[in-house]
Amino acid sequence: MRKRLRHLPSGLAASAALLVVGVLVGGLLRGGAGIAGVAAGIGLVAASYTIGSLVIAWADSVDPRLILPVGLTTYALKFTIIGLVMSTIAASGWAGLKPMGVAVLGSVLGWIVAQAWWTWHARIAYVEL
């Protein structure tokens, strides 16, 4: 499974860097709620991508034909859970909701850029060696 998860450190490093910057900005603009919202948003995205990567790597190790159905099922479950969490937080009136939303968007973009950078620079064999 280790071979299937080589991309994970790049996304986690990007999330860590965004967390440092985001917490500073969130704290300056919104205080404690901003810090908590940014941390929650980035943590949610990092956990989502990490869990998705682990589940897809597991499916690939069992049988490569499972990647699509397991990946799509995982995506649908994550999307549903994140939607329920965000709607519950929105209903509570928490002041950190907007910083959390901005952090989710920024973290997703950061993770995508980090994974794309890793992919462009990785030495990936296109045939079985």
| Tens of pLDDT, residues 10-67 | 999 999 999 999 999 999 999 999 999 999 999 999 999 999 999 999 999 999 999 9
Closest CA to 48 of 102, 107, 94: 107
Q: What is the CA radius of gyration of the chain?
A: 17
Q: What is the pLDDT of residue 4?
A: 83
Q: What is the pLDDT of residue 129?
A: 64
Q: What is the pLDDT of residue 85?
A: 87
Tokens of residue 1, six digits: 């499974």
Above pLDDT 90, what percent of the chain? 80
Condensed to tens digits (0 to 9), the pLDDT of residues 72-100 reads 999 999 989 888 988 999 999 899 999 99
- Cβ contact 56:70 at 8 Å: yes
Q: Which residue has the tokens 């299937």?
A: 4
